[in-house]
Amino acid sequence: MGVLSSTSLLDRLPAEYARGGVTLEIGGIPIFLRSGDAEFCRMIEDRYAGFVNPFASAEYEFEIDLNPPSEPSDEDARVSKHGDVWFFDRGDFHAEWDARTRRGWVRQAPNPYAIDTVLRIVHSLVLAEEGGFLLHAASAVRSGQSFVFTGISGAGKTTMSRLAPADVAVLTDEISYIRRRADGYRAYGTPFAGELARVGENISAPFGGLYFLEKGPANRIEPIDDRRAARALLRNILFFSHDERLVKRVFDSAFEFVSNVATGRLIFTPDERAWRLVG
Amino acid sequence: MKQLYIARSSAVASRVLDGEIVIMSATDSTLFSLSEVATVIWQAADGHTPLSEIVRGRICAEFDVAPDAAYRDAEAFIDDLARHGILRVSSEPIDGIEPGVSASRLGAARPA
């Protein structure tokens, strides 16, 4: 039997895999989704292709209970906290998560939309604690650095992603993932896709710059002061909780971030020449 | 005239940057950027100084504005912030408010 036989691979998989489930590693944070429903697990593996890591040691774990199929909800998710336990609710799911034990459960319909929202909420809470955040923004890696492009809807996030030249790796066209590490900020790829419906590359890079997108007649980068940058950033941070302590934490993180990274207004014509100014 | 007392809510995050206060409500994440006059009112909202005294002693003293107009504007401003839970308003003095915002990060240098 060869060393790469399926038996030897299975031997090396974490024990929880034998009990059924998928480990998704987004932003370097592995979360095990436990489910005995093989079809649901396959759907998750397909949906999050590139972010499945069966060999990662899970930092968080969710038990998934599947309801009968139902339509995805277009409500906003409600997030609340009682003691150490977070509650996430929407028409198509209910989830509880104990931040202390790092375990939770989700009751949801067997579609990827509910778990996608749960994952966004959990990552936003985990990042908030460490000074990072999820941001409505496209991001990409060029020449070993990550660049993030944020702005109001229609400002050009999808356009910048679509126009990325061959030497650029797109991390996301929709939700950027910013972590504060010991050596500085770092942007990570995410599977949270927007209009391009394309999962980002599962890579990360040290932070190179934050650009506030505006469409204009000529490509140029203009400075933006920290006050305006922080205000614009706060409007685009994806945060679901009204927990007083964490809201304050995110608020402070936004100011901390803009005072420590390069920022600018990227005014661009919607063509690939804008990328000549980046990286 | 009935006295109004105003106090900064504890359910907000705030920061002074380049002389302007930016406030975010923790209850609904609404973001406010205060004008110079509004900043004076916010900083004076100690729960014990009547609004009329803030207007007369601070606003009219520091800005070229008539007392009546200044008071009307101040009332509208505090109504707006109170609706978002950022200011507490009472006809009685208010105890237990947060200390004023720190300006220690004002103009923080950006590393090269």
- CATH number, residue A269: 3.40.50
Is A70 a member of any domain?
A: yes
Taking CA–CA distances from B9, the nearest residue in chain A reads A244
Please state the rounded mean pLDDT for residues A64-79.
89
Is A4 a member of any domain?
A: no
For residue A96, name the pLDDT band (cuts at 50, 70, 90). very high
Whether residues A265 and A212 share a domain: the answer is: yes
Please state the rounded mean pLDDT for residues A218-247.
92
For residue A152, name the pLDDT band (cuts at 50, 70, 90). confident
Whether residues A256 and A223 share a domain: the answer is: yes
Amino acid at B15: R
Nearest CB partner across the interface for B11, out of A226, A239, A244: A244
Amino acid at B27: T
Please state the rounded mean pLDDT for residues B55-60.
94
Lowest-pLDDT range of A149-153, A192-196, A257-261, B58-62 = A192-196
- Interface pTM (ipTM) of the complex? 0.70
What angle in degrees, to the nearest 10, is found between the helix axes of A112-129 and A38-47?
Answer: 60
For residue A143, what pLDDT is reported?
A: 96
Contact A227 B20 (CB under 8 A): yes
Kindly tell me if the per-residue pLDDT of B110 is higher than 50: no
Residue that finishes a domain, picked among A72, A100, A129: A129
DSSP A52: B
Whether residues A265 and A153 share a domain: the answer is: yes
Whether residues A100 and A198 share a domain: the answer is: no
Residues 6+ apart with CB under 8 A from A231: B22, B31, B33
Lowest-pLDDT range of B45-49, B54-58, B83-87 = B83-87
| Residue A78 belongs to domain spanning | 9-129
Please state the rounded mean pLDDT for residues A167-183.
96
Query: Measured between alpha carbons, how far is A190 from B106 in angstroms, rounded to an integer?
Result: 34
Whether residues A42 and A119 share a domain: the answer is: yes
Whether residues A155 and A24 share a domain: the answer is: no
Is A2 a member of any domain?
A: no
Query: Measured between alpha carbons, how far is B47 from B65 in angstroms, rounded to an integer?
Result: 24
Whether residues A95 and A205 share a domain: the answer is: no
Lowest-pLDDT range of A63-67, A87-91, A240-244, B98-102 = B98-102
Whether residues A18 and A100 share a domain: the answer is: yes
Pairing of strands A85-90, A78-82: antiparallel
Residue that finishes a domain, picked among A86, A111, A129: A129
Query: Measured between alpha carbons, how far is B7 from B88 in angstroms, rounded to an integer?
Result: 5
Kindly tell me if the per-residue pLDDT of B109 is higher than 60: no
Domain ranges of chain B: 5-87
Question: Which of B36-40, B88-92, B95-99 has maximum average pLDDT?
Answer: B88-92
Q: Using a pLDDT cut of 90, give the percent of chain A over it.
A: 77
Distance from CA of B66 to the nearest CA of A (A): 31
Distance from CA of B52 to the nearest CA of A (A): 31
Q: Using a pLDDT cut of 70, give the percent of chain A over it.
A: 92
Kindly tell me if the per-residue pLDDT of A5 is higher than 60: no
Contact A243 B29 (CB under 8 A): no
Residue that finishes a domain, picked among A78, A112, A129: A129
Kindly tell me if the per-residue pLDDT of A170 is higher than 60: yes
Please state the rounded mean pLDDT for residues B19-40.
86
Beta bridge partners of A22: A33
Distance from CA of A182 to the nearest CA of B (A): 16
Taking CA–CA distances from A235, the nearest residue in chain B reads B31
Instruction: Report the CATH architecture of B5-87.
Output: Orthogonal Bundle (1.10)
Q: How many CA atoms lie within 13 A of B33 on its CB side?
A: 12
For residue A18, what pLDDT is reported?
A: 57
Of A243, A20, A246, the C-alpha closest to A128 is A246
Amino acid at B112: A
Whether residues A189 and A255 share a domain: the answer is: yes
For residue B17, what pLDDT is reported?
A: 79
Kindly tell me if the per-residue pLDDT of A225 is higher than 50: yes
Kindly tell me if the per-residue pLDDT of A19 is higher than 70: no
Whether residues A114 and A158 share a domain: the answer is: no
- What string of H, E and C letters represents the secondary structure of B50-109? EHHHHHHHHHHHHCCCCHHHHHHHHHHHHHHHHHCCCEEEECCCCCCCCCCCCCCCCCCC
Whether residues A272 and A159 share a domain: the answer is: yes
Whether residues A85 and A219 share a domain: the answer is: no
Of A243, A242, A236, A51, the C-alpha closest to A133 is A236
Kindly tell me if the per-residue pLDDT of B24 is higher than 50: yes
State the CB neighbour count (10 A cutoff) for residue A174: 24
Domain count, chain A: 2
pTM of the full structure: 0.85
Of B1, B12, B2, B3, the C-alpha closest to B87 is B12
Q: Which residues of A touch B (CB under 8 A)?
A: 225-227, 230-231, 234-235, 239, 242-244, 247-248, 251-252, 255, 259-260, 262
Please state the rounded mean pLDDT for residues A41-59.
94
Kindly tell me if the per-residue pLDDT of A26 is higher than 90: yes
